[in-house]
Amino acid sequence: MTYLIEEKNDYLVVYLEGEVDLSCSPEARRVILDCLQKQRHLLVDLSRVSYIDSSGVASLVEGYQVSRSKNLNFALVGVSDNALNVLKLARLDQVFPIYTSIEALLQGGS
Amino acid sequence: MDASETVVDIRVLSAPNQLKVLRQRVRDVVASTGFSSKEQQELVLAVDEACSNIIKHAYHLESDREIHLIILKTDEALIFQLSDDANQVDTSKFKPREWDQIRPGGLGLHFIQEVMDKVAFIEAETMGNTLEMVKYF
């Protein structure tokens, strides 16, 4: 897994790429929580995530919960088909705010 | 059960970076079956979650132990057998997360149970644990 962080308007955007499994989910968790620690709204782009396991999903859940406790926005964008299937299996696709793209979110779309 | 053919018999270290190797072997096997691409992805996920559970709960993140994966193919199913040589675990403590709880953790077992048609621990006489997961064609 690799990641990249970019500022976009009021948001920090974390782009995750590759396979997010037990070997790298602690790093994904750290990156997500570090961004929230900076009191910034957060978007996690999963468009280039080819695989995600329960530990990766747990990192997203924790980020979502921390953002809510800090009154920060948290959303997933561009979720790849593989990642979306896993979120559906976890029945979390109805829990996370999910947008097709960052532009769709910033323009108030879905 | 009808005659079975061993299509994978692989042993890897219990290091998280070995999961990728195991996933690829499972991918190769399920790709040659009649499962849909979504089902193939889910089978890879379920086996991966079972391996992760061994690393976390049986070996407590010790990375120099051994995980043994056997995949058997019969006319009616794929059978995944995952073994470790850890102390026997109390399987009654394995409880999947309740669906109405939104919290990190506890998802792996749910994935396994959702994806597989049969999941059972095979009791060992001495050391070790073997989890058998069956997916019918």
Model confidence band, residue B50 (pLDDT cutoffs 50, 70, 90): very high
pLDDT in tens, A46-76: 999 999 999 999 999 999 999 999 999 999 9
Q: Which tens digit of pLDDT belongs to each residue from B94-119?
A: 666 665 566 666 799 999 999 999 99
Q: How far is A104 from chain B (nearest CA, A)?
A: 26
pLDDT at A109: 61
- Domain definitions of chain B by residue range: 5-136
**Domains of chain A, each with CATH number or no CATH:** 2-106 (3.30.750.24)
Residue of B16, B23, B49 lying closest to A54 (CB–CB) = B49
Whether residue A23 and residue B20 make contact (CB cut-off 8 A), yes or no, is: yes
ipTM passes above 0.95: no
* Region for A19 from its dihedrals, namely left if φ exceeds 0, alpha if ψ lies in -120 to 50, beta otherwise: beta
How close, in Å, is residue B3 to chain A by CA atoms?
32
Structure tokens at B93: 């403590």
**B63-93 burial, b for 16+ CB within 10 Å, e for fewer?**
eebebbbbbbbeeebbbbbbbbbbeebeeee
pLDDT higher than 70, residue B15: yes
| pTM for this model (two decimals) | 0.91
pLDDT in the model for residue A57: 96
Give tens-digit pLDDT for B69-93.
Answer: 999 999 999 999 999 999 887 776 6
Best of A22, A32, A67 to disrupt the B interface by mutation (most B CBs within 10 Å)?
A: A22
- Give A23 or B96, the one with higher predicted confidence: A23
- Model pLDDT, residue B106: 78
Task: Return the higher-pLDDT residue of A23 and B94.
Answer: A23
Q: How confident is the model at residue B87, as a pLDDT?
A: 85
Give the mean pLDDT of B38-61: 96
A65:B52 CB<8 A: no
Third-level CATH fold of B5-136: Heat Shock Protein 90 (3.30.565)
Q: Does residue B31 have a pLDDT over 70?
A: yes
